[in-house]
Amino acid sequence: MAKVKTKFVCLECGYESVKWLGKCPDCSGYSTFTEERIFEEKNASKKILDFDVKKPVCLDHIEIVEADRVKTGMEELDRVLGDGFVKGSLVLIGGEPGIGKSTLLLQVSELVAKKEVDVLYITGEESLSQIKMRADRLGVLSKQIHILPETNIEIIIETIKKDHPQFLIVDSIQTIYTDEITSVPGSVSQVREITNMFMNISKNMGITTVIIGHVTKEGNIAGPKILEHMVDTVLYFEGERLNTNRIIRTVKNRFGSTNEIGVFEMGAKGLIEIAEPSKLLIESKKEASGSVIGCALEGTRPLLLEIQALVTKTNLPMPRRTAIGIDYNRLSLLVAIIEKHLNVYLGAYDVYVNVVGGFKVNDTSTDLAVVTAVLSSYYDQILPNDVAFVGEVGLLGEIRSIINFEARQKELKKMGFKYCFTANTDTVISGFDVKLIQNVRDLRKTIKG
Ligand code: TYD
Ligand code: MG
């Protein structure tokens, strides 16, 4: 019998090697290699999808057609998609198991079905009765939604060709397999080939396709980055299990801007849109030391956040630094800036920082709020409830101005704030006040009054 040939594939980026490697030379991931069987390259997608050969078109003769879109009517989702789903596009929604991907897509099915769009929902994870039970709970009733519990791509493609749905949902890509490849479902080669097949069929038949992908704990779509390159749009579903807030973030979008977010809350009847996320994120703020309001910019939208810090004496030889919702390295850097420029030695203190509401910030304009929160806790001084701190902090302790200050002022004013500390010298909107601050050194007198 012929010896089974195997190769080693990086789960993070798809890099292939003949031998096992501890560190991936491509994406630098550690222990990411897995053994897979080598199969005969039959190019299954070509065999199944026997479409006409297309002729190249002269660039000069191409007419620009506005992308035809299907709006869900769910504002928070339509915005992250760049004004709805583009017909015939391939969208990937990634997120940790249990975050609410299936729930969202079932709700989306109902919304698009109401617009006379035929939906085919392929489920490889749940049974028909499980889906029905969930649909009943969510009030999903449309007769235009069809469910197919199937994991074999060959059967799925036959069904698609026969039924011609306009909207296709694949839940989840890791459960679907092709007979052409011997490796297990969810393996790099399976996921790559299956996505390729869905891409072909969605482009050729003009079917809007949404692929659900589970994400590994490192935050990559298991199966993984190769998927991101193939699809038109990549959305990530974020949130913490114990918290009901859910955020959808655009990571890639060929039909709109990235960095947009949509905010939802997971309720008893599925996901509810949160039109005013700032309100939700700051409403529980208490007047206490260590609590400071900052303002991040998510895409085009300003978002107010409560930053909490706790600074406590430590007995540990290495003081603890915990950052939840902000980058750990950013926190270390800000702590170093405080030590250097305010002569506050935090070496004997543990520093914990948390962004309330399970929100993850990747905007440096919240630096000033983080520094202020740490100092507020250190000095045990409470800051007034109607003030915010907006600015980036540089290594020299200088406060830097940030973009879109006007939009942030408006958001702050709308949420009942009277003034903010900032380095921005832009026009101040009426009914709002700005206190200029140049360096973190000046925070001491602000905090100690
Ligand atoms: P689900 O959509 O199955 O997650 P995923 O597909 O991302 O794995 O969501 C599962 C969780 O959502 C589960 O813990 C229960 C909760 N949930 C609600 O809170 N309300 C609801 O109406 C539904 C349908 C689910
Ligand atoms: Mg699911």
Residue 436 has pLDDT above 60, yes or no: yes
Q: Is the CB of 219 under 6 A from ligand 1?
A: no
Q: Which residues of 233-380 form beta strands (DSSP E)?
A: 233-238, 245-253, 261-267, 270-273, 291-298, 301-313, 321-324, 349-355
Q: Is the CB of 97 under 6 A from ligand 1?
A: yes
Mind listing the pLDDT tens digit for each residue in 278-292?
888 888 888 899 999
- Rounded CA gap, 172 and 163, in Å? 20
Give the distance (Å) from ligand 1 centre to CA of residue 299.
27
Residue that the structure tokens 């303002």 belong to? 295
Closest CA to 409 of 382, 383, 428, 435: 428
Of 12-21, 367-376, 422-431, where does the model show the most confidence? 367-376
User: What would the DSSP string read from start to end of 53-114?
Assistant: PPPP--GGGPPP-PPPEE--S-HHHHHHHTSSEETT-EEEEEE-TTSSHHHHHHHHHHHHHT
Those residues whose beta carbon sits under 5 angstroms from the ion ligand 2 are 102
Ligand 1 atom having least distance to the Cα of 241: 14
Distance of CA 114 to the CA centre of its chain: 27
Instruction: Name 299's Cβ contacts closer than 8 Å, sequence gap at least 6.
Output: 79, 250, 257, 258, 259, 260, 261
Residue 217 has pLDDT above 70, yes or no: no
Residue 115 has pLDDT above 70, yes or no: yes
Name the residue of 96, 101, 103, 104 whose CB sits within 8 Å of the most ligand 1 atoms, as the mutation to test its pocket: 103
8 Å CB contact between 8 and 19: yes
In the numeric block, which tokens belong to residue 407?
């939009």
Residue 219 has pLDDT above 60, yes or no: no
User: For 8-17, 41-50, 100-109, which range has the lowest pLDDT when averaged over its residues?
Assistant: 41-50
The residue type found at 281 is: L
Tell me which residue has its CA closest to atom 17 in ligand 1: 270
Q: Is the CB of 101 under 6 A from ligand 1?
A: yes
Give the distance (Å) from ligand 1 centre to CA of residue 82.
25
Residue-level pLDDT at 270: 92
Q: How many CB atoms lie within 10 A of CB 63?
A: 5
- Rounded CA gap, 377 and 380, in Å? 5
% pLDDT > 70, the chain: 94
Helical (H) or strand (E) element with 136: helix 128-138
Residue-level pLDDT at 131: 94
% pLDDT > 90, the chain: 59
Give the distance (Å) from ligand 2 centre to CA of residue 204.
27
When pLDDT is averaged across residues 104-108 and rounded to a whole number, the result is 95
8 Å CB contact between 88 and 207: yes
Helical (H) or strand (E) element with 157: helix 153-163
Tell me which residue has its CA closest to atom 10 in ligand 1: 98
Q: Which residues of 315-438 form beta strands (DSSP E)?
A: 321-324, 349-355, 387-389, 392-393, 399-400, 419-422, 433-436
Mind listing the pLDDT tens digit for each residue in 318-340?
999 999 999 999 999 999 999 99
Mind listing the pLDDT tens digit for each residue in 20-79?
888 988 888 888 787 877 765 555 555 556 666 778 889 988 887 777 888 999 999 999
Instruction: Name 159's Cβ contacts closer than 8 Å, sequence gap at least 6.
Output: 120, 148, 150
Give the distance (Å) from ligand 2 centre to CA of residue 143.
22
Ligand 1 atom having least distance to the Cα of 138: 22
Give the distance (Å) from ligand 2 centre to CA of residue 95.
10
Q: Is the CB of 95 under 6 A from ligand 1?
A: yes
In the numeric block, which tokens belong to residue 81?
């998609």
Q: What single-letter DSSP state applies at residue 384?
A: P
Tell me which residue has its CA closest to atom 9 in ligand 1: 100
pLDDT confidence band for 377 (50 / 70 / 90): very high
Residue 275 has pLDDT above 80, yes or no: yes
Give the distance (Å) from ligand 2 centre to CA of residue 100.
7
Closest CA to 292 of 371, 365, 358: 371
Closest CA to 238 of 211, 210, 267, 263: 263
Give the distance (Å) from ligand 1 centre to CA of residue 141.
18
Residue that the structure tokens 């459960």 belong to? 175
Closest CA to 218 of 6, 356, 24: 24
CA distances from 125 to 32, 133, 135, 160, 170 (A): 25, 14, 15, 19, 10
Distance of CA 148 to the CA centre of its chain: 28
Nearest ligand to the C-alpha of residue 104? 1
Q: Is the CB of 241 under 6 A from ligand 1?
A: no
305-338 burial by CB neighbour count: b if 16+ within 10 A, else e? bbbbbbbeeeeeeebebebbbbeeebbeebbebb
Residue-level pLDDT at 448: 77
Q: Is the CB of 213 under 6 A from ligand 1?
A: no
Nearest ligand to the C-alpha of residue 93? 1
Residue 361 has pLDDT above 60, yes or no: yes
Mind listing the pLDDT tens digit for each residue in 150-203?
999 999 999 999 999 999 999 989 899 998 887 788 878 888 889 999 999 999
Residue-level pLDDT at 63: 82
Tell me which residue has its CA closest to atom 15 in ligand 1: 98
Ligand 1 atom having least distance to the Cα of 266: 19
Closest CA to 214 of 87, 146, 124, 136: 124
When pLDDT is averaged across residues 133-144 and rounded to a whole number, the result is 92
User: For 3-7, 269-273, 311-315, which range has the lowest pLDDT when averaged over its residues?
Assistant: 3-7
Residue-level pLDDT at 369: 97
Ligand 1 atom having least distance to the Cα of 237: 7
- Rounded CA gap, 289 and 377, in Å? 5
Ligand 1 atom having least distance to the Cα of 95: 7
Give the distance (Å) from ligand 1 centre to CA of residue 241.
10
Tell me which residue has its CA closest to atom 22 in ligand 1: 270
The residue type found at 6 is: T
Q: How many CB atoms lie within 10 A of CB 28?
A: 11
Q: Is the CB of 137 under 6 A from ligand 1?
A: yes
Instruction: Name 133's Cβ contacts closer than 8 Å, sequence gap at least 6.
Output: none
- Rounded CA gap, 105 and 95, in Å? 13
8 Å CB contact between 29 and 219: no
Q: What are phi and psi of 305, to 5 degrees?
A: -135, 145
Q: Is the CB of 103 under 6 A from ligand 1?
A: yes
Name the residue of 101, 110, 266 whose CB sits within 8 Å of the most ligand 1 atoms, as the mutation to test its pocket: 266
